[in-house]
Amino acid sequence: MLKTERTRIKRLPKRGHYDEKTIFSILDAGQICHIGFIHHDKPVVIPIIYGRSGNVLYIHGARVSRLITELGKGIEISLAVTHVDGLVLARSAFHHSMNYRSVVLFGTATLVENHEKTIENP
């Protein structure tokens, strides 16, 4: 995957990984993503189910929904998947933390015109 100024991890960058194996393993372990986009000049984030086949992510939605209607216009989006692996509790609330894995992707969507509802396993 491409490491750019936009995708570069700034806080604790040594924890970031940009290789396909890591990214695909996080995506494949999930079922729900959050898609962020601008709608009527306001930011919106929608949770939705997804699946991956190769380098393509498929999201599920009704063609008349706000999300799918907007994505069909070729707008820019961000897509995030996060898995919480554990909570780190400390004596002081200031030192509490969380172990997690996440992927944030940027791009545009394309409407799938094929109405078959099955996807082969990668």
In words, the CATH class of domain 18-108 is mainly beta
Nearest Cα to Cα of residue 101 among 112, 86, 91, 113 = 86
Q: Which of residues 102 and 118 earns the better pLDDT score? A: 102
Structure tokens at 38: 């601008």
Q: Which of 1-15, 23-37, 47-61, 92-106 has the lowest mean pLDDT?
A: 1-15
pLDDT of res. 6: 64
- How many angstroms separate the CA atoms of 85 and 37, rounded? 27
Banded pLDDT at 85 (limits 50, 70, 90): confident
Domain residue spans of the chain: 18-108
- How many angstroms separate the CA atoms of 112 and 71, rounded? 11
Please, what is the average pLDDT of the chain? 84
Banded pLDDT at 55 (limits 50, 70, 90): confident
pLDDT surpassing 60 at residue 122: no
- How many angstroms separate the CA atoms of 122 and 73, rounded? 28
